[in-house]
């Protein structure tokens, strides 16, 4: 018999909102959150807000290259994990199931449960975090989330459509990035502008996420701010 709420499915708190401001590093790095929502541009919806607080006062929607993109900070996010009471219940349940089994079987079964309990406890001990949310109406799946440090280093991208031979991706990058150049050995470079920290690129998915490809973040003068990835050497 299972304890209510301990069926193995982690129950995530429904999306909640807050008027709190995000951490200063978010406002310092992303001008889109410092700017007001444009008049006449309705806010787009965002999903994947469970286990955190959607900072609605800083939710922003921009239309870039014909694509409506919505971004927002997600505050006080914690990873989904089952209640501690479920760990104790599961340990008791497994002990009852294996109590008549050989000692070696009991030890292995209990060791598995105890490892899971230790993992759950480690997750519960993690401090709340701030994530960034990025979504578009035609995105494949819910809005993507990104940790602050990694998003600042590599950008946050999600697919927002598909056409013959290429996909549409939207991305969020920090202040100072005016253009992004995507490079692949033996192929023409693809370069797109950045508007309010948002870029839209139509490109084959392998050139964005696959190995052997490179992205250059460029400033307003064309100087390279950051190089992401290593360009593969083309061989005949």
Give the per-residue pLDDT at 236: 47
Nearest Cα to Cα of residue 6 among 65, 93, 101, 122: 93
Map residue 231 onto helix, strand or coil.
coil
- Phi, psi of 227, deg, nearest 5: -115, 125
Torsion region of 115: left, alpha or beta (phi above 0 gives left; psi -120 to 50 gives alpha): alpha
User: What percent of the chain lies above the pLDDT cut of 90?
Assistant: 51
Q: How confident is the model at residue 107 (pLDDT cuts 50, 70, 90)?
A: very high
Domain map (residue ranges) of the chain: 84-124, 161-236
Find the mean pLDDT for residues 60-68: 93
Count CA atoms within 13 Å of residue 173 on its CB side: 25
225 pLDDT more than 60:
yes
Q: How confident is the model at residue 75 (pLDDT cuts 50, 70, 90)?
A: very high
Give the per-residue pLDDT at 207: 74
Give the per-residue pLDDT at 88: 87
Q: Which CATH number fits domain 161-236: 3.20.20, 1.10.3470, 2.50.20, 2.60.40?
A: 2.60.40
How far is Cα 41 from Cα 76, in angstroms, rounded to an integer? 28
Q: How confident is the model at residue 191 (pLDDT cuts 50, 70, 90)?
A: very high
Map residue 40 onto helix, strand or coil.
coil
How far is Cα 45 from Cα 128, in angstroms, rounded to an integer? 23
163 pLDDT more than 80:
no
Give the per-residue pLDDT at 16: 87
Query: CB of 187 within 8 A of CB of 210?
Result: no
Give buried/exposed letters for 164-191 (b at 16+ CB in 10 A, else e). eeebbbbbbbbeebbbbbbbbeeeeebe
Give the per-residue pLDDT at 4: 57
Give the per-residue pLDDT at 209: 67
Give the per-residue pLDDT at 9: 53
């Amino acid at each position: 018999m299972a304890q209510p709420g301990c069926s193995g499915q982690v129950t995530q708190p429904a999306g909640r909102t807050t008027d709190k401001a995000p951490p200063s590093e978010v406002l310092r790095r992303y001008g889109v959150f410092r700017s007001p929502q444009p008049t006449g541009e309705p806010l787009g919806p965002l999903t994947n807000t469970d286990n955190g607080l959607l900072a609605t006062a800083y939710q922003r929607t921009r239309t870039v290259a014909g694509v409506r993109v919505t971004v927002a900070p997600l505050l006080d996010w914690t990873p989904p994990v089952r209640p501690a009471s479920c760990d104790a219940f599961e340990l008791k349940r497994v002990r009852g199931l294996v109590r008549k089994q050989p000692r070696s079987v009991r030890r292995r079964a209990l060791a598995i449960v105890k490892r899971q309990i230790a993992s759950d406890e480690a997750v519960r001990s993690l401090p709340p975090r701030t994530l960034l949310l990025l979504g578009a109406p035609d995105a494949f799946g819910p809005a993507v989330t990104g940790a602050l440090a990694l998003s600042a280093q590599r950008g946050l991208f999600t697919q927002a459509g598909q056409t013959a031979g290429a996909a549409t991706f939207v991305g969020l990058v920090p202040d100072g990035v005016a253009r992004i150049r995507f490079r692949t050995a033996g192929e023409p470079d693809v370069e797109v502008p950045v508007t309010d920290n948002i870029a839209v690129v139509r490109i084959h998915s392998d050139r964005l996420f696959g190995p052997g490809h490179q992205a250059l973040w460029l400033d307003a003068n064309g100087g390279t701010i950051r190089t992401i990835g290593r360009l593969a050497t083309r061989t005949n």
